[in-house]
Structure 1
């Protein structure tokens, strides 16, 4: 635990010992105030003025900004005594800034993260950072099995977050016209070899099948892992769907299945020229929008991004599920990651009851109808299944169908305090394997396994 905290502290110090910039719900830039300052203090009590702060990594993205602004506008309309201020930063800065804020004691009242981040940030302080929400949930009547991703929010017997926003998984978008020109039926893409064959048709013209992130971005791990590694190994870091016990003896990184998946990905990128290496996911999306590649591996949020860029593009875009993976004669269903955004309640919050009311309301049908505008799938399963939602989000709804009919259990990175360290080990390994240097897959994964075992033994 000391090792994890020291590394996070180092990252925080590197980012600078100041709180991140924030925005009010109208997008006006402000500065995050320390929890003890007048600005951050709230009076509480029925009808009294209350200011809540809400920290999120996605507010810089237009679809999320629009959805969150609508949430705040509607909630403050219903509760005129409440003001909600946003702490936001881009993806690259958000996580270090959050570490800095927690260690300084001026984190937001409500903190939005992904499930794999919960344990890392809660463990920054010896007594924990987040409130156990079980008493709030039990008295609220919320049925947590109706919230997608809620099962990932319990750590060491404590419910440290609420899945009250939205979720997504991944599928393969395609340009209809490009596939038609090559005589490719998208419904024929059932396995990784079918996908490779489709990409080959474009490599013949000096193009690529899709953009693939190969850089220091975490996508260098997650794209390969979701499409190939986890389906055959059932766990990049640990077996059995990334479940515990999380011990050095159970490290799964260098399993024969993961080595095979890495070697296949190398062949796809370097020998077959199926994927074009790019530094960031935005670059692979641009390639797709500009008709330079026929495929883009992405989630439901990409639908909203595309509409925002050019609604006319939607007429030329289709969607199929991630392919099955055939390994040693056996077929494995995809088990791509479940990406729910969940919210934690800080122990430093001066008005936890008011903060919980906002968190609880976010899970309601009314709020989830507004959340749907973010491009992800609302966490409230009941609402996401209504004719109202389906009618306005036909393409996004396909992801729910994929999860139910085409995929096996969705898998997320293990929600343990060491996860950020494990992730960095894998970023370094995959960069070496999938960049031009093409480091030997087995050697790199054996070395990564040793590093992870050392981390787990600390």
Structure 2
């Protein structure tokens, strides 16, 4: 795929990543941080060194509070390094990052999602990001960070999973289910879930908000709940693995067509979902007691607590349900969402930038991150009894991964991903409306468009 051709649609597909979204305040109290240690390569120069960092998370108040705390604590360790944080709204952030990399004036440090790594790395000849392989290996971080394998592209470690990660589950309002006589533990399959949702689908009432239109959630919610568990790949077969060629495309497979038709029926025929333009709308419906269900990740715990701490006693979490298709039961395989931190290949102070990224993997920093309501990237800390005691609801997601979910499947980290994802978003806008439609022709057309993108 020629670079020029990719750039035509790259900005339009800027919001393709599946947003981790905002997290709220702490989900169970904080724990004392250990004493800080001086980074191995901390600055000793007399003139202050300025580092710039861009993150799409910074526009959300809870994330901003945590990131500010990280910078504040790091300044105590190395006061000679000044870190300036910037961020734009979710869509604008990706557009800005594209423009800045092409103009060679991006920030020193950037945070992105794994599925965007290849697209941005290949925007500039020679690579937009610094190769961190030697630094990473020397730090002994191998096997210590969740999702770190997603930070590798072209056999180079470009990103560090040093912030947090999340997967998804189903949140429910206890009082609403109890009123309808529904035991949440009885929701094991998509049919069980549909049966429960039907009890709330009367008149204008629905069971959950469903994001539709041009937002990436219009694909991701259906994909994680129904499609990928049965198809093992929304874009490519065999768990989104290579070969990334037209003959390996999977979007219009029999399983994906069935899953899309089920989701259309859930919305348009069963009237179980209300179409909303943004995820915040479905969250507010949940908070306001308009719907009993909200599919979300561990960050939603903190958001709920920040919205109304008194509401927390009425919130429960169950794992995503199994999907029964053609008489066979498939376990959920929702994507793991780590946030990657990268250093620009144009950074004038790479050692100081690396020291900050390395410090973010420390126990001290990870405990600060836990206050955001998310699961810290450190495997040791996130699986510790200390963490589970301090953040019991968040710890449920770890339990779901071990006991309810099969191998998590990530979107394909290839340069063409942004374009492929935009095709799927366009298809979802046609398929998932409040009108019954035949989804197969739409997915067949999506397949042809994807094949053209891949050069076939």
Aligned residue number for residue 195 of structure 1: 193
* In structure 1, distance between residues paired with 2:359 and 2:59: 23
Contact 1:53–1:84 under 8 Å retained in 2: yes
Contact 1:432–1:438 under 8 Å retained in 2: no
Secondary structure of 1:323's aligned partner: coil
Following TM superposition, by how much is the alpha carbon of 1:131 offset from its aligned partner in structure 2, in angstroms?
1.1
Q: Deviations over 1:205-254 (max 9, x none)?
A: 64111000011000000000000000000000001111111111100000
Aligned residue number for residue 89 of structure 2: 90
Aligned residue number for residue 249 of structure 1: 247
Higher RCO, 1 or 2 (CA under 8 Å, sep at least 6)?
Answer: 2
Change over 3 Å in CA distance of 1:250–1:10 after alignment to 2? closer
Q: Deviations over 1:61-90 (max 9, x none)?
A: 122111111100000111110111112011
Contact 1:232–1:257 under 8 Å retained in 2: yes
Moved more, 331-340 or 203-212: 203-212
Aligned with residue 343 of structure 1, among 332, 341, 344: 341
Contact 1:221–1:426 under 8 Å retained in 2: yes
* In structure 2, distance between residues paired with 1:14 and 1:263: 25
Aligned residue number for residue 215 of structure 1: 213
Secondary structure of 1:284's aligned partner: helix
Equivalent runs, 1:49-60 vs 2, <5 Å: 49-60=48-59
Contact 2:324–2:330 under 8 Å retained in 1: yes
* In structure 2, distance between residues paired with 1:452 and 1:13: 16
Secondary structure of 2:7's aligned partner: helix
Following TM superposition, by how much is the alpha carbon of 1:439 offset from its aligned partner in structure 2, in angstroms?
4.0
Secondary structure of 2:209's aligned partner: strand
Aligned residue number for residue 235 of structure 1: 233
Aligned residue number for residue 362 of structure 2: 364
* In structure 2, distance between residues paired with 1:271 and 1:13: 32
Following TM superposition, by how much is the alpha carbon of 1:13 offset from its aligned partner in structure 2, in angstroms?
10
Contact 2:206–2:273 under 8 Å retained in 1: yes
Following TM superposition, by how much is the alpha carbon of 1:11 offset from its aligned partner in structure 2, in angstroms?
5.6
Q: Confirm or deny that 1:126 pairs with 2:125.
A: yes
Change over 3 Å in CA distance of 1:5–1:74 after alignment to 2? farther
Aligned residue number for residue 27 of structure 2: none
Change over 3 Å in CA distance of 1:44–1:63 after alignment to 2? same
Q: Deviations over 1:119-146 (max 9, x none)?
A: 000000121101111110121122x212
Aligned residue number for residue 66 of structure 1: 65
Secondary structure of 1:331's aligned partner: strand
Aligned with residue 374 of structure 1, among 355, 363, 372: 372
Following TM superposition, by how much is the alpha carbon of 1:12 offset from its aligned partner in structure 2, in angstroms?
5.2
* In structure 2, distance between residues paired with 1:305 and 1:82: 32
Aligned residue number for residue 382 of structure 2: 384
Change over 3 Å in CA distance of 1:133–1:74 after alignment to 2? same
Contact 1:44–1:351 under 8 Å retained in 2: no
Q: Which runs of 5+ in 1 are unaligned?
A: 16-42
Aligned residue number for residue 107 of structure 1: 106
Following TM superposition, by how much is the alpha carbon of 1:440 offset from its aligned partner in structure 2, in angstroms?
2.1
Following TM superposition, by how much is the alpha carbon of 1:383 offset from its aligned partner in structure 2, in angstroms?
0.7
Aligned residue number for residue 154 of structure 2: 156
Following TM superposition, by how much is the alpha carbon of 1:8 offset from its aligned partner in structure 2, in angstroms?
2.9
Equivalent runs, 1:290-309 vs 2, <5 Å: 290-309=288-307
* In structure 2, distance between residues paired with 1:204 and 1:438: 18
Secondary structure of 1:132's aligned partner: coil
* In structure 2, distance between residues paired with 1:45 and 1:70: 23
* In structure 2, distance between residues paired with 1:13 and 1:340: 23
* In structure 1, distance between residues paired with 2:234 and 2:98: 26
After TM superposition, the score normalised by the length of structure 2 is 0.91
Q: Deviations over 1:87-106 (max 9, x none)?
A: 20111211001001101111
Secondary structure of 1:400's aligned partner: helix
Change over 3 Å in CA distance of 1:331–1:14 after alignment to 2? closer
Following TM superposition, by how much is the alpha carbon of 1:152 offset from its aligned partner in structure 2, in angstroms?
1.2
Secondary structure of 1:146's aligned partner: coil
Aligned with residue 444 of structure 1, among 442, 445, 450: 442
Aligned residue number for residue 185 of structure 1: 183
* In structure 2, distance between residues paired with 1:219 and 1:9: 22
Tell me the C-alpha RMSD between the 2 structures: 1.7
Change over 3 Å in CA distance of 1:341–1:194 after alignment to 2? same
Aligned with residue 281 of structure 2, among 280, 283, 295: 283
* In structure 2, distance between residues paired with 1:14 and 1:206: 33
Aligned residue number for residue 22 of structure 1: none
* In structure 2, distance between residues paired with 1:246 and 1:380: 31
Contact 2:144–2:378 under 8 Å retained in 1: yes
Following TM superposition, by how much is the alpha carbon of 1:324 offset from its aligned partner in structure 2, in angstroms?
0.2
Contact 1:9–1:100 under 8 Å retained in 2: no
* In structure 2, distance between residues paired with 1:14 and 1:230: 21
Contact 1:64–1:373 under 8 Å retained in 2: no
